[in-house]
């Protein structure tokens, strides 16, 4: 199966390229991004339960802060790899204090940061558009890469 893919370029033009579905899945790290978004959602639900029990000012454990830091790092790596520049810039602004810092993040702040990361990645994905092209409609030269 072949697909026409469009990415918004920095100059606002949308070049169309013929790609296989596998090319698209691999280029956009679809599996990694899907798993990451699921991990963010699960962790966010855990923290939301903690917030309901102990209040928004509760301080997450060091393990939870480490998990948060790891998710932010993975999100940053994924966004860099696939060219999600707006999401990457948003993620890079996320404040993660050093483990030995006196500054502590509360549960509400971590949840808010996870929400922003999640939403920015979804927004980046919504900028990509794909159209299925039947194999008999594809010029032979495009299929062979000529």
Q: Does the pLDDT value for residue 1 go beyond 50?
A: no
Q: In terms of Cα–Cα distance, which of 14, 19, 15 is closest to 3?
A: 19
Residue 53 predicted with pLDDT over 60: yes
Band (47; pLDDT cuts 50, 70, 90):
very high
For residue 134, the SS3 value is coil
> What mean pLDDT is predicted for residues 57-74?
93
Cβ(111)–Cβ(47) under 8 Å?
yes
Residue 76 phi, psi (nearest 5): -60, -45
- Residue 77: the pLDDT is 93
What pLDDT is stored for residue 135 in this prediction? 64
- 56 vs 13, higher pLDDT: 56
92 vs 62: CA distance, rounded Å: 21
* pLDDT band per the 50, 70, 90 thresholds, residue 119: very high
Q: What is the pTM of this model?
A: 0.71
What is the predicted pLDDT for the residue at 10?
45
Burial 64-78 (b: 16+ CB within 10 A, else e): bbebbeebbebbbeb
- DSSP E strand stretches across the chain: 2-6, 16-20, 129-133
pLDDT in tens, 90-103: 999 988 877 677 88
Q: Return the domain boundaries, the chain.
A: 31-141
Structure tokens at 135: 């194999």
Classified as helix, coil or strand, 34 is: helix
Please report which confidence band the pLDDT of residue 104 belongs to, taking 50, 70 and 90 as the band edges. confident
């Amino acid at each position: 199966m072949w697909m026409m893919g469009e990415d918004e370029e920095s100059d606002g033009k949308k070049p169309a390229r013929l790609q296989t579905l596998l090319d698209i899945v691999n280029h956009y790290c679809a599996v990694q991004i899907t798993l990451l978004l699921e991990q963010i959602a699960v962790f966010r639900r855990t923290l939301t339960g903690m917030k309901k029990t102990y209040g928004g000012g509760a301080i997450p454990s060091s393990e939870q802060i480490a998990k948060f830091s790891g998710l932010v790092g993975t999100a940053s790596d994924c966004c860099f790899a696939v060219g999600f520049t707006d999401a990457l810039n948003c993620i890079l602004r996320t404040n993660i204090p050093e483990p030995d810092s006196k500054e502590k993040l509360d549960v509400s702040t971590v949840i808010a940061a996870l929400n922003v990361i999640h939403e920015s990645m979804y927004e980046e994905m919504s900028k990509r558009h794909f159209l299925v092209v039947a194999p008999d409609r594809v010029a032979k030269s495009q299929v062979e890469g000529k």
